[in-house]
């Protein structure tokens, strides 16, 4: 009896050790089969959401292939209370595939074999999402910024669940070089031209992954590679020349504005008179110079009629110091002298004076001729000039200059002033003076006669 119980206990113990851990649903706390029997299965699954309309898909494959002589089936099961509803996955080459609509419920993936019991493991569809492959990768070079814009598309942009919930990885490399990656949640990234080699060929590809907020999973497959070539180093020079050109354009514009303002400011006062000078109208000029005689203009040679006129006695002549205005002496001064003013002594003096004097000498009534001029013109001592007949000779010279003012100078009975220091007040030649002598026109120097004749003719025309 005792022996039998011992054998039975050993047998039971043997059975327990052999069958106790052959889990139907030997699932660890995390749903894995870490320490289970070798007949557990190690598979790799991923899900694709909305791969076709409202359907999602599940694709699984064995990491370690089971023996070929054993048929295995994979099934996706839902626990619904006491019901366990399973759907067999379709075997496609080395993978198992199933499409379904419910992605909210927790599911189990179970493996059935002919020889083994069903083995299941939990599976969360939203934690193993594999996005679809990005496409339409394009590279655009932005010359101004020297940047390469890489933009791409993903099918999830027009789907529901993964829109704006993906992370994209952009990989690029130079020809046969090492890959460099950039990650972005957006559908475009920029590569700085300064970080790339000039005039080199590059290759770009993109893949996507759920961002992990709710959906988790793995990277999608890589997109088709796209190649591009960077520009040469001239870009810097071109940009530099563009900057210089812009600066020069701005300066030129500012200079033009300044010129326009200056021209507008000084047009009337300076530019226009210089370009189109106003030629004086001779007629108007002479009108200003030659004033019309008054209606009650007195023309008389009777000294008594001019008693109201303040007459300056001219005792001597003042010549201007500007010698360059001297004209060459005239050869026939005597004929122009009026006869009543001639006297012997005067005539003696006159020729000498007139020969050597410059009839056109600009003189004023009053003052003293400069000594230099007198010496040059007269060629005699100054005393001879001023001796006695100064006034008469002065008058002669005055006459030669053409402007007799009063009669005293012609009165030989009066004692002429021999004082050379006497300097009668200057009588500037003015229009009245000239007009007075114009009618006579007898006692003028040849050159002044021409001028007076001309002016006279203008006056007559008026």
Partner 1 sequence: MGNKTTEIRVKYENILSYDINELVNMSAEYRDRCCKNKKHENTKMFFCNDTQEIESLQSMACNMLRFFHKQKISKDFRWKAALVSCGTLQVLQCKCERHKKEKVCTQLNTHNKEDTETGEQSKKKCNQEFCELKENTSSLRSCWNKFEKIISR
Residue 104 binds to partner 1 (criterion: CB under 8 A): yes
Q: Shortest distance, CB of residue 9 to partner 1, whole angstroms?
A: 46
Alpha helices, H only, 307-370: 344-356
- Please choose, out of 94-102, 286-294, 376-384, 394-402, the segment that lies near partner 1 by the rule CB under 8 A: 94-102
Pick one of 26, 73, 99, 239: the residue that binds partner 1 (CB under 8 A): 99
Q: Rule CB under 8 A: which of 43-82 touch partner 1?
A: 53-54, 78, 80
- Please choose, out of 26-34, 93-101, 307-315, 394-402, the segment that lies near partner 1 by the rule CB under 8 A: 93-101
Q: Shortest distance, CB of residue 128 to partner 1, whole angstroms?
A: 15
- Distance, in Å, from the CA atom of 363 to the CA atom of 299, rounded to the nearest integer, reads 25
Residue 96 binds to partner 1 (criterion: CB under 8 A): no
CB atoms within 10 A of CB 109: 23
Q: Shortest distance, CB of residue 76 to partner 1, whole angstroms?
A: 8
Using CB under 8 A, count the residues that bind partner 1. 19
Q: Which is nearer to partner 1, 68 or 213 (CB)?
A: 213
Residue 405: both structure tokens together: 């003012």
Q: Give the up-direction half-sphere exposure of residue 80: CA atoms within 13 A in the CB hemisphere.
A: 7
- Distance, in Å, from the CA atom of 233 to the CA atom of 217, rounded to the nearest integer, reads 43
- Please choose, out of 100-108, 134-142, 147-155, 290-298, the segment that lies near partner 1 by the rule CB under 8 A: 100-108
Q: Shortest distance, CB of residue 208 to partner 1, whole angstroms?
A: 17
Pick one of 30, 35, 102, 304: the residue that binds partner 1 (CB under 8 A): 102
Tokens 């009650």 belong to residue: 296
Pick one of 14, 179, 214, 222: the residue that binds partner 1 (CB under 8 A): 214
Pick one of 27, 103, 286, 422: the residue that binds partner 1 (CB under 8 A): 103
Residue 153 binds to partner 1 (criterion: CB under 8 A): no
Q: Which is nearer to partner 1, 104 or 415 (CB)?
A: 104
Q: Which is nearer to partner 1, 62 or 87 (CB)?
A: 87
- Distance, in Å, from the CA atom of 279 to the CA atom of 27, rounded to the nearest integer, reads 120
Q: Shortest distance, CB of residue 75 to partner 1, whole angstroms?
A: 11
- Distance, in Å, from the CA atom of 441 to the CA atom of 429, rounded to the nearest integer, reads 15
Pick one of 74, 98, 123, 390: the residue that binds partner 1 (CB under 8 A): 98
Pick one of 100, 141, 306, 458: the residue that binds partner 1 (CB under 8 A): 100
Strand order in the sheet with 43-52: 43-52, 55-62, 95-100, 90-92
Q: Which is nearer to partner 1, 68 or 102 (CB)?
A: 102
- Distance, in Å, from the CA atom of 359 to the CA atom of 337, rounded to the nearest integer, reads 12
Residue 369: both structure tokens together: 């001729």
Where b means 16+ CB within 10 Å and e means fewer, 176-198 reads: eeeeeeeeeeebebebebeebee
Q: Which is nearer to partner 1, 172 or 215 (CB)?
A: 215
Q: Are 358 and 397 in contact (CB under 8 A)?
A: no
CB atoms within 10 A of CB 346: 19
- Distance, in Å, from the CA atom of 185 to the CA atom of 114, rounded to the nearest integer, reads 47
Pick one of 72, 152, 172, 215: the residue that binds partner 1 (CB under 8 A): 215
Q: Shortest distance, CB of residue 84 to partner 1, whole angstroms?
A: 11
Q: What is the dihedral of CA 395, 400, 401, 406, to 10 degrees?
A: 30
- Distance, in Å, from the CA atom of 53 to the CA atom of 117, rounded to the nearest integer, reads 35
Q: Which is nearer to partner 1, 101 or 413 (CB)?
A: 101
Pick one of 105, 140, 142, 430: the residue that binds partner 1 (CB under 8 A): 105
- Distance, in Å, from the CA atom of 257 to the CA atom of 255, rounded to the nearest integer, reads 5
- Distance, in Å, from the CA atom of 111 to the CA atom of 65, rounded to the nearest integer, reads 13
Q: Shortest distance, CB of residue 165 to partner 1, whole angstroms?
A: 8
Q: Which is nearer to partner 1, 54 or 178 (CB)?
A: 54
Q: Are 424 and 366 in contact (CB under 8 A)?
A: yes
Site residues (CB under 8 A) for partner 1? Answer: 53-54, 78, 80, 85, 87, 98-105, 126, 160-161, 214-215
């Amino acid at each position: 009896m005792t022996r039998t119980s011992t054998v039975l206990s050993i047998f039971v113990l043997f059975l327990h050790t052999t069958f106790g851990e052959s889990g139907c649903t030997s699932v660890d706390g995390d749903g894995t089969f870490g320490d289970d029997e070798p007949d557990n299965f190690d598979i790799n699954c991923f899900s694709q959401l909305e791969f076709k309309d409202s359907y999602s898909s599940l694709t699984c494959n064995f990491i370690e292939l089971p023996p070929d002589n054993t048929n295995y089936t994979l099934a996706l099961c839902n626990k619904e209370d006491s019901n366990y509803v399973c759907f067999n996955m379709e075997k496609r080459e080395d993978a198992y595939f199933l499409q379904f609509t419910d992605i909210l419920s927790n599911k189990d993936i179970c493996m059935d074999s002919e020889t083994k019991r069903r083995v299941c493991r939990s599976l969360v569809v939203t934690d193993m999402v594999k996005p679809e492959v990005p496409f339409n990768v394009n590279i655009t070079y932005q010359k101004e910024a020297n940047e390469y814009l890489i933009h791409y598309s993903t099918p999830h942009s027009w789907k529901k669940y993964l829109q704006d919930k993906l992370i994209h990885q952009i990989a690029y490399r130079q020809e046969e070089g090492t890959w460099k990656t950039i990650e972005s949640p957006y559908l475009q990234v920029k590569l700085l031209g300064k970080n790339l080699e000039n005039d080199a060929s590059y290759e770009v590809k993109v893949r996507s992954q759920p961002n992990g907020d709710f959906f988790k999973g793995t990277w999608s497959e890589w997109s088709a590679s796209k190649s591009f070539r960077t520009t040469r180093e001239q870009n810097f020079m071109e940009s530099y020349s563009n900057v210089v050109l812009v600066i020069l354009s701005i300066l030129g514009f500012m200079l033009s504005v300044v010129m326009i303002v200056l021209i507008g400011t000084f047009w009337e006062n300076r530019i226009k008179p210089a370009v189109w000078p106003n030629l004086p109208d001779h007629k108007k000029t002479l009108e200003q110079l030659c004033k019309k005689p008054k209606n009650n203009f007195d023309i008389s040679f009777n000294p008594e009629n001019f008693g109201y006129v303040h007459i300056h006695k001219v005792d001597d002549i003042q010549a201007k110091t500007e010698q360059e205005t001297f004209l060459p002496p005239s050869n026939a001064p005597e004929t122009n002298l009026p006869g009543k003013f001639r006297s012997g002594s005067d005539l003696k003096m006159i020729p000498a004076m007139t020969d050597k004097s410059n009839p056109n000498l600009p003189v004023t009534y009053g003052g003293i001729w400069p000594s230099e001029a007198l010496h040059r013109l007269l060629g005699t001592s100054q005393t001879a000039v001023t001796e006695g007949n100064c006034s008469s000779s002065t008058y002669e010279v005055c006459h030669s200059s053409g402007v007799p003012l009063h009669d005293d100078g012609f009165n030989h009975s009066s004692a002429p002033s021999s004082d050379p220091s006497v300097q009668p007040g200057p009588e500037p030649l003015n229009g009245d003076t000239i007009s007075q002598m114009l009618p006579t026109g007898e006692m003028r120097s040849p050159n002044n006669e021409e001028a007076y004749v001309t002016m006279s003719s203008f006056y007559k025309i008026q």
